[in-house]
Amino acid sequence: MTPTNSRLALAAFALSASILSAQPALAAVACGSGNFDAWLADLKTDAAAKGISQQAITAGLAGVTLDQSVLNRDRSQKVFTQTFEEFSGRMVPPRMQRGSNMMKQYGSVLSRIEQAYGVPGEVLVAIWGLETDFGVNTGKFATIRSLATLAYDCRRSEQFRAELMDALRIVQRGDLAPADMKGAWAGELGQTQFMPSSWMKYAVDFDGNGKRDLLRNAPDVLASTANYLAGYGWQRGKDWQPGSPNFAVLQQWNKSEVYSKTVAYFATQLAHAP
């Protein structure tokens, strides 16, 4: 090798080494890095690369800060230990009368939803009542802030990062303004508590007003819930008792067998209500 070629080779080696040493600076800011603002700036770049509009990114993430109360709740979750008898006995009787009234009030809507998706109104109203007391208690946490906090935390970072991206897509699509996105501490939204990924996949504009509004619009809430269950294989005309294929679909709504049994029980009570 000539001296000139040798110098060129050494220069090339030095350049490649410098590029390699620079790689960590170009990598994504890690979860839990100690600098939430840097992580958020990196996330904004990632959102834009995924095709989310700058307008949605700016509107959704402006002024977002870490919410320690969300982390505290996430780390202090207790294992669900109530029996079916305890849980259903606490949840169903106080909601029976209102549930029966909702069946009557939304009877024609529920009938059209069943025709469209195959899911009976009793099941939808039971879920509606158990999740948020028919829309009374949807939660007061700022959804995007909660999701950003959980995405930054390293426990389930990728899961919540994906949910945060879908929350921004909800903004981009025009379903909700960021200020209206308030719900449960872990990012669930609306009267039957959809995660943003489920909202993007299953939310429907059932009343045809141009928006999928699961916060304020009961027909959209109920139809979207039916669409979710249908998407997981709900069998039209079949029952929903434990052991049935439709009960397995209810367990896709909530993995807890006690919760799913309570939905099934509540729905059966509503079906027999006068």
Q: Which two tokens stand for residue 41?
A: 């700036």
3 CB neighbour count, 10 Å cutoff? 7
Direct distance between the N- and C-terminal alpha carbons of the chain, in angstroms, rounded to an integer: 96
Where are any strands of DSSP class E within 112-249? 141-142, 182-183
- Cα–Cα dist 161/144, whole Å: 11
CA distance 251 to 126: 14
Q: Torsions phi, psi of 189, nearest 5?
A: -125, 145
H-run or E-run covering 21: helix 3-26
Structure-token pair, residue 247: 């009960």
Q: Which residues contact 121 (CB under 8 A, 6 or more apart)?
A: 103, 106, 107, 110, 111, 113, 114, 222
Please pick, among 86, 114, 122, 131, the residue that the annotation labels catalytic. Answer: 131
| Tokens standing for residue 251 | 């367990």
3-state secondary structure of 55: helix
User: Token digits for 8?
Assistant: 């060129």
Phi, psi of 226 (to 5 degrees): -65, -40
Q: Is 131 a catalytic residue?
A: yes
Catalytic residues: 131
